[in-house]
Amino acid sequence: MQNQPSIIDLHLHTTASDGELAPAELVARAAQAGIQVLAVTDHDSTEGLCQARSACDELGLTLIDGVEISSRWNSMDIHVVGLGIKPQDQRFQGHLQSQMARREARARTIAARLDKLGYPGLYEKAAAIAPQNTPARPHFAQVLVEQGICTDRKQAFQRYLAQAKPAYVKTDWPTVPEAVRWIREAGGVAVLAHPGRYKLTRTKLNHLVKDFAESGGQALEVSVATHSPDVVQQLADLTLKFELYASQGSDYHGPSMRWVRLGSMPPLPSRCRPVSLLLEPRS
């Protein structure tokens, strides 16, 4: 990866978690978008990596094995992306199995709350469209739309599934330091995902990044499709302050999220050290 590609996207989702496209289809669309290096980073799952790698090999693209770990920091849900992990690591897969158990418990509680709100039987419908039959919030959102309860996924989150809404369920995720440790023990680079989305004050964001760095975190997602230019510059400054690398990714989930396009994000500021420097092939 010494010669930087024209487009690099290190945060992508497939049907192995809450994405809309199967891994091979995602890779095909990435190639059409001009992406040359990509990372599949499904939530708490590496199930899509094998298919994605086969598709990348056929199309001459470079795949970075990735994952996105759900974690907690000061009672907030925080996501940590792992890049360059070894998906076959058995201890790491054990951690992912524990994450899936947490997801299953959360899904059943979400369904129970929706039932109390007058919408019974949604667990089975959401499970039918979810990978490994373990639905996440986007699957419940899709069902709420299909049942005519909401007009679109955004409304489903705003009314029922977002934090502080009636069907939101706080989950006992591992701490941020635990997530970082899992990723690093699996040979990966720990990246704080989309820091600009957490709706934190500058002071609290500074504390989050400081804690992340002190836990062994190595990079921030500076350039994300939904990050404004001001946020990109703020995060670039934080990478310098805490001696972190900078990552970039669209966080693409599928065509229905029309405001996010594959490979489309602000450029990394030139003062940042790109995370690709940590992903060089090992001799």
Instruction: Answer whether 0.85 is exceeded by the pTM.
Output: yes
Give residue-wise pLDDT tens across range 102-145.
Answer: 999 999 999 999 999 999 999 999 999 887 778 989 899 999 99
Based on the fold, state whether residues 42 and 157 are members of the same structural domain: no
My answer on whether 153 and 181 are in the same domain is no
CATH number at residue 208: 3.20.20.140
What are phi and psi for residue 251, nearest 5 degrees?
60, 45
> Residue 187: inside a domain, yes or no?
yes
pLDDT at 283: 35
Domain end marker among 114, 132, 161: 161
Model confidence at 280, pLDDT cuts 50, 70, 90, reads low
Give residue 125's domain range.
Answer: 97-161
- 186 with 121, same domain? no
Q: How far apart are CA 67 and CA 55, in angstroms?
A: 18
Q: Of 134, 161, 188, which marks where a domain is finished?
A: 161
Task: Quote the CA–CA distance of 139 and 12 in Å, as a whole number.
Answer: 17
pLDDT value, residue 132: 72
How many structural domains comprise the chain? 2
| 239 and 103 co-located in one domain | no
Same domain, 125 and 141: yes
The mean of the pLDDT values for the chain is 93
Please indicate, yes or no, if residue 169 is contained in any of the structural domains. no
